[in-house]
């Protein structure tokens, strides 16, 4: 009697972020489907950055799980914070300049909420934090970075994996967390839940 091969259960990434897809590919994980969650990401009144990151990740996962069954649903949300102040995606270049001026010469925190819903409906979630320290930025540093356009669509107005890498004096915690998905925690969460990647 031949052994039956366990059926592959699909993994759905509840995010359209190409960075998150690239990070997953880095550790050999390729989602079976990409299904961005359409939710309101507005912070609640007096909501702390850590709580916001965790809440949005859970809401994204739940939104997709309501449409997709018999699958693993993975969602994440990244929040950049200076103290209790949340620095979201800048609306325009003027706001991006303001954010970079605020981050100049200071330490800030990057939180990523991570949520995995299993095919059985179990919900696993956690929040990962990284502390990032910026050098003191000159007006020329900021002007050149704004001109690059790299700040667009980025929380905190910068992408650590791009030109802004030269602004980072030190980093305490997960680098991939700052890019948009903490890989160590993601891999552990998937493995612990019984997810098996696709067989080539």
Distance CA 82, CA 99 (A): 10
Distance CA 46, CA 125 (A): 22
Residue pair 12/33 in contact (Cβ under 8 Å)? The answer is yes
Q: Is 164 helix (H, G, I), strand (E, B) or coil?
A: helix
Write down the catalytic residue from 32, 40, 77, 141. 77
Partnered with residue 113 across adjacent β-strands are 77, 127
Does the annotation count 141 as an active-site position? no
Residue pair 131/109 in contact (Cβ under 8 Å)? The answer is yes
C-alpha distances in angstroms, 146 versus 63, 98, 110, 130?
34, 11, 21, 24
Active site residues: 77
């Amino acid at each position: 009697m031949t052994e039956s091969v366990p059926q592959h259960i699909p993994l759905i990434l509840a995010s359209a972020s190409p960075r998150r897809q690239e990070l997953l590919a880095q550790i050999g994980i390729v989602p079976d489907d990409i299904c961005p969650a359409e939710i309101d990401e507005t912070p609640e009144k007096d909501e702390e950055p850590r709580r916001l990151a965790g809440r949005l990740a859970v809401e994204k996962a739940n939104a997709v799980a309501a449409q997709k069954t018999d699958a693993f649903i993975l969602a994440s949300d990244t929040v950049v914070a200076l103290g209790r102040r949340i620095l979201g995606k800048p609306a325009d270049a003027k706001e991006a300049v303001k954010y970079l001026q605020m981050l100049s010469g200071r330490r800030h925190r990057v939180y990523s909420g991570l949520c995995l819903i299993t095919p059985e409906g179990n919900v696993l979630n956690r929040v990962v934090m990284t502390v990032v320290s910026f050098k003191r930025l000159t007006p020329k540093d900021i002007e050149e970075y704004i001109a690059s356009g790299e700040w667009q669509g980025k929380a905190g107005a910068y992408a650590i994996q791009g030109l802004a890498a030269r602004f980072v004096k030190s980093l305490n915690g997960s680098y991939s967390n700052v890019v948009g998905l903490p890989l160590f925690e993601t891999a552990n969460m998937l493995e612990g839940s019984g997810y098996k990647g696709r067989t080539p």
